[in-house]
């Protein structure tokens, strides 16, 4: 693993945490599953509340991808519990995923502390695969709520890329050039470069695409 913040390709660090669902060991308790770990600046704040509702509204879609959600902020467990209770009572949304209660130790380890904002955490997202490897990292500033459809798209796209050994174009599945197609990896030699045009739709030998699953 690299020094400092976990980077793409690193193994997610082993951490024991307290959550609203009891103690957990990361990443071991999520072995064999995908995990989206996300931090928020603080409980009982408006933008964070909209984010938690948005994540919960898509919880079934994440679950269908064998992907678990877990939140985090530098707040105590009872604060998380009261906030979740408030969301249920006032917005009629039951938060079903756990939230890590952090004293700052986990946030420091994962590079989540917002510069110049005291102990507030940035809006970070770590996508961890079933082998406990970090596959993607996102950081948003405190004033900007995340787009949960993009987080969901990220999970879907990386799973497809892994399974089919392809690249995923910008804005997939509605790319401006290839639509819902996926990108064929570049050829390894001149012979395969020449053959690709017979097998795939190509703009050139280095830029070929195909239907998903094709």
Beta strand 67-73 with 99-101: parallel, antiparallel or unpaired?
A: parallel
The CA–CA distances, whole Å, from 39 to 80, 87, 111, 200 equal 13, 17, 11, 42
The whole-angstrom separation of Cα 105 and Cα 121 is 12
In angstroms and rounded to an integer, the radius of gyration of the C-alpha atoms of the chain is 20
| Angle, CA of 90, 41 and 29, to the nearest 5° | 90
CA distances from 52 to 17, 20, 58 (A): 20, 14, 10
208 is catalytic: no
CA distance 52 to 96: 10
Q: What residues are labeled active site? A: 48
């Amino acid at each position: 693993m690299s020094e400092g913040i976990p980077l793409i390709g690193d193994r997610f660090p082993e951490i024991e945490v307290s959550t609203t669902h009891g103690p957990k060991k990361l990443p071991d308790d999520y072995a064999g599953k995908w995990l989206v770990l996300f931090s928020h600046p603080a409980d009982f704040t408006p933008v964070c509340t909209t984010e938690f509702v948005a994540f919960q509204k898509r919880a079934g879609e994440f679950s269908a991808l064998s992907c678990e959600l877990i939140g985090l902020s530098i707040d105590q467990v009872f604060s998380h519990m009261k906030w979740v209770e408030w969301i249920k009572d006032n917005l009629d949304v039951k938060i079903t995923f756990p939230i890590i209660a952090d004293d700052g130790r986990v946030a420091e380890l994962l590079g989540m502390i917002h510069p110049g904002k005291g102990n507030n955490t940035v809006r970070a997202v770590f996508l961890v695969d079933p082998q406990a490897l970090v596959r993607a990292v996102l950081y948003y500033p405190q004033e900007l709520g995340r787009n949960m459809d993009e987080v969901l798209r990220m999970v879907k796209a990386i799973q497809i890329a892994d399974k089919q050994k392809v690249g995923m174009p910008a804005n997939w599945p509605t790319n401006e050039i290839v639509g819902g197609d996926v990108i064929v990896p570049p050829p390894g030699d001149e012979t395969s470069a020449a053959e690709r045009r017979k097998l795939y739709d190509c703009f050139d030998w280095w830029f070929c695409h195909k239907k998903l699953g094709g």
